[in-house]
Homo-oligomer: A and B are copies of this chain.
Amino acid sequence: MKAEDRFVDALRALLPSGGSVRLGPGDDAALVDRETGPLAATTDLLVEGVDFLPGEDPERLGRRAAAVNLSDLAAMGAEPEFFLLSIGFDRGKGAEYPLAIARGAIARAGAFGARLIGGDLSEAPQTVVSVALWGKPAGAPLLRSGAAPGDAVFLSGHPGEAAAGLRLAQRVAAFGAQGSRPTPRFPELALEAERRLLAAYRDPVPRIALGAALSREGLATAAIDVSDGVGADAGRLARASGVRLVLERNALPFSPALLSFGAMEELDPLELLLSGGDDYELLFTASPAQAERLEERASAFDVPIARVGRVQRGGGAFLLDGQSERDIADLGHDHLERAS
């Protein structure tokens, strides 16, 4: 179990249960009952040099901070309403700097219906951005805990691309630091593929529409957003549901851009997908009847979905590759360990 998950378990033990809190720390977002129906709420803290590259463009950073939180609501099937934004920064960066972060966050969240209502500023040695976002589940909230043996496992989009994009962004930053401007920067990668991978890291698209559709139409038994790699997040969903997830190597949705990047860097695209992190795609499970309906409805979603595995009795998350099964639940990002 990851340090972050151990913390959540320890935190749960501190909290009184029941009452109007339906779901406390440990799912993608929290759910509370207010007078008329549930409210979903989430927060993420982004620290420079840990959660984003030093010197990141502030507007892009604001967009990303919003997107990370929007993705948590997407995984609950909730539609975002309002957000709060706090920024800690070195005032030597000037008064325009936090405004640029705010502009990015306002634009990104605004595209999904969420409005900035307040925030806070503080001096800080490095930039930190904290967003708290809330909204309303479109239908029954999607929890991590609803998967049952016999369900199918689905994945949206093309996980692994963000991890490839991060590596490209680091290379681009290194080029910039050296003052060199290679044209094209990556001869083995089509410009379109480069743009696609950079965008997957820098400006991920939260899957609000997909999550809301799954919730509204009752098309999933459980869901999580893939923030720390498909392996770790499959492990979390399995643990919350008390089941075993088996993903099939041959069913995973590798994009041509990711395959090209893997070839160029001599990196296995499978490892980027399983361990990469920062994708903000949805991993979800569906009963046989839901899975059938999902496959009929697939072309109506704004992102491709792929059936990648199945839910069994037991525990853990595994990758089936031919005859061999590999434990993938402990792969990938840990927000408390990645800086070590």
Contact = CB atoms under 8 A, between A and B. Distances in A.
Which residue of A46, A123, A126 has the most chain B CB atoms within 10 A of its CB atom? A123
Interface stretch (A34-42, A172-180, A191-199): A34-42
A106 interface: yes
A32 B128 contact: no
A44 B335 contact: no
Interface string A6-41: 110011001110011101110001111011110101
Stoichiometry, as copies per complex, reads: 2
A336 interface: yes
Interface string A107-118: 000000001111
A92 to B, nearest CB: 9
Contacts of A122: 45-47, 50-51, 335-336
Size bracket, chain A contacts: 35 or more
B51 A128 contact: no
Given A118-B41, A132-B132, A125 B123 contact: no
A82 interface: yes
28 contacts: A10-B99, A14-B103, A14-B106, A14-B116, A19-B115, A21-B117, A25-B118, A32-B81, A34-B34, A34-B36, A34-B39, A35-B36, A41-B118, A41-B132, A43-B85, A43-B118, A43-B132, A44-B86, A44-B120, A45-B87, A45-B120, A47-B124, A49-B125, A50-B123, A51-B122, A84-B132, A124-B128, A134-B134
Interface of A: 3-4, 6-7, 10-11, 14-16, 19-21, 23-25, 29-32, 34-37, 39, 41-47, 49-51, 81-82, 84-88, 91, 95, 98-99, 102-103, 106, 115-126, 128, 130, 132, 134, 335-340
